[in-house]
């Protein structure tokens, strides 16, 4: 079950659906493995702060794969720049942000 995108405000105060998804994928060296719960809380708090400022963004899913030292997060937001801003506010390295598709949502909309 996918999570629907957040509604976002346009400049005139109207709303539109934010249907953009982004994926952030880190490979964490063992010597730099951070407390991921703390990092996740910092991302969530930065997202709340940006949302209060009018930027609609949310981390939908976060998964860590220990055997590969990979941390993958999926966001919904109006732009990749908003995802980068979250990481700056959370004082985390600004990762590469890739556009993504929510295939679960696409299947539901087609039926």
> 88 pLDDT exceeds 80?
yes
Q: Which residue has the higher pLDDT, 41 or 35?
A: 41
pLDDT at 41: 92
Q: What confidence category does residue 8 fall into, taking pLDDT thresholds of 50, 70 and 90?
A: very low
51-84: buried (b, 16+ CB within 10 Å) or exposed (e) per residue?
A: beeebbbbbbebebeeeeeebebbbbbbebebbb
Which tens digits make up the pLDDT trace of 50-87? 999 998 899 999 998 988 989 999 999 989 999 999 99
How far, in Å, CA of 111 to CA of 37, rounded? 37
CATH 3.40.50.300 is the classification of domain 10-110: no
The pTM (predicted TM-score) of the whole model is 0.73
How far, in Å, CA of 20 to CA of 84, rounded? 15
Name the residue with tokens 């400022």. Answer: 53
CB atoms within 10 A of CB 40: 16
**Averaged pLDDT, 14-43:** 76
Q: What confidence category does residue 11 fall into, taking pLDDT thresholds of 50, 70 and 90?
A: very low
**Averaged pLDDT, 33-40:** 81
């Amino acid at each position: 079950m996918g999570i629907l995108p957040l509604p976002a405000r346009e400049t005139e105060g109207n709303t539109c659906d934010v249907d953009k998804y982004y994926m952030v994928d880190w490979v964490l060296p063992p010597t730099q493995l951070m407390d991921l719960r703390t990092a996740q809380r910092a991302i969530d708090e930065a997202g709340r702060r940006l949302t209060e400022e009018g930027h609609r963004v949310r981390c939908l899913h976060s998964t860590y794969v220990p055997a590969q030292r990979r941390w993958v997060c999926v966001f919904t937001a109006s732009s990749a720049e908003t995802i980068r801003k979250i990481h700056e506010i959370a004082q985390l390295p600004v990762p590469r942000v890739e556009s993504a598709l929510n295939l679960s949502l696409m299947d539901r909309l087609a039926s």
